[in-house]
């Protein structure tokens, strides 16, 4: 197999919600032309880097990326695993030369890829609701072991990272037993709208904003009082607004067992019938 194909190509692939994979091939003429643009003082400290852009809902490069990071490359590397740690986000990668002064010379640009969610979708659609029988058949053996702590950060983290507990609470917990039984749990849906380019966080966790500016997160709601801090920040970071709604879930005491009805008193007519 040849070591290269004499083309300028950078390909991006998704490995899982937290990692993407890049591989590339560059023509020698392309890098030679880029180096020809350097001033003599820019040659010392010159590095080849991968510049990873978060371009979620952005028309990049016409619009700037939300943020980017540089990964210095070593040796003759022609592929790299990139730890984005960002499920449900869209990425595009540039490979280029970076001078010590911060000047970046582009060599090739990749395709766009979107990492999958790390858990169930926040969209509630009756079309995809499973019946109780199907749900018990799939998860009945697991539900009894699931618990959610009372910390808002903990249950938000499980909702955003797809913890099993939030899935269980979406349908209720508990294992089917013989006789009379039922299950009951609650979810909380936090939703709103803002500038499509704004940065939204809930409990310091980033929340994706759609192109129309709307956003929503479905959370498992544990018993007790929870303060939910929602912040919205302009892309330049100059303005921030915050709201902190307080949500309380209290369960009623277990109802007493209903009294047993006394046996019916026979009517005179029925008594006479029995005696006769």
Domain boundaries, the chain: 9-114, 126-249
Q: What pLDDT score was predicted for residue 46?
A: 93
Q: What pLDDT score was predicted for residue 2?
A: 73
Contact of 29 with 76, CB cutoff 8 Å = no
Distance, CA of 148 to CA of 165 (rounded, Å):
6
CATH 2.60.40 fits 126-249, yes or no: yes
Do 126-249 and 9-114 have the same topology in CATH? yes
Q: 9-114 in CATH: which number? A: 2.60.40.10
Q: What pLDDT score was predicted for residue 104?
A: 96
Q: What pLDDT score was predicted for residue 158?
A: 47
Q: What pLDDT score was predicted for residue 204?
A: 84
pLDDT < 50 stretches in the chain:
142-155, 158-177, 267-276
Q: What pLDDT score was predicted for residue 42?
A: 92
Contact of 149 with 222, CB cutoff 8 Å = yes
Contact of 82 with 71, CB cutoff 8 Å = yes
pLDDT in tens, 18-72: 999 999 999 989 989 999 999 999 999 999 999 999 999 999 999 999 999 999 9
């Amino acid at each position: 197999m040849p070591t290269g194909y004499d083309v300028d190509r950078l390909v991006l692939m998704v490995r899982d919600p937290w990692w993407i994979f890049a591989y590339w091939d560059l023509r020698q003429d392309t890098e030679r032309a880029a180096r020809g643009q350097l001033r003599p003082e820019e040659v010392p400290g010159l590095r080849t880097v991968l510049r990873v852009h978060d371009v979620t809902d952005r028309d990049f490069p016409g619009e700037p990326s939300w943020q980017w990071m540089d990964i210095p490359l070593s040796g003759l590397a022609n592929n790299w695993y990139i730890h984005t740690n960002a499920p449900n986000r869209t990425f595009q990668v540039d490979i280029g030369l970076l001078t010590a002064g911060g000047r970046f010379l582009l060599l090739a640009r990749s395709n766009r890829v979107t990492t999958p969610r790390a858990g169930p979708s926040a969209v509630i659609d009756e079309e995809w609701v499973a019946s109780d029988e199907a749900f018990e058949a799939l998860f009945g053996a697991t539900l009894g072991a699931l618990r959610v702590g009372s910390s808002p950060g903990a249950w938000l983290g499980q909702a955003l990272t797809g913890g099993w507990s939030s899935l269980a609470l979406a349908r209720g917990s508990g294992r089917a037993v013989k006789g009379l039984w039922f299950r009951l749990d609650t979810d909380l849906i936090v939703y709103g709208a803002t500038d499509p380019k704004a940065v939204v966080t809930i409990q310091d966790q980033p929340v994706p904003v759609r192109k129309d500016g709307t956003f929503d997160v479905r959370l498992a709601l544990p018993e007790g009082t929870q303060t939910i801090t929602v912040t919205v920040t302009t892309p330049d970071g100059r303005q921030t607004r915050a709201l902190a709604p307080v949500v309380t879930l209290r369960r009623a005491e277990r109802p007493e067992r209903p009294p047993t009805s006394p046996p019916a008193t026979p009517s005179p007519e029925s008594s006479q019938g029995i005696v006769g």
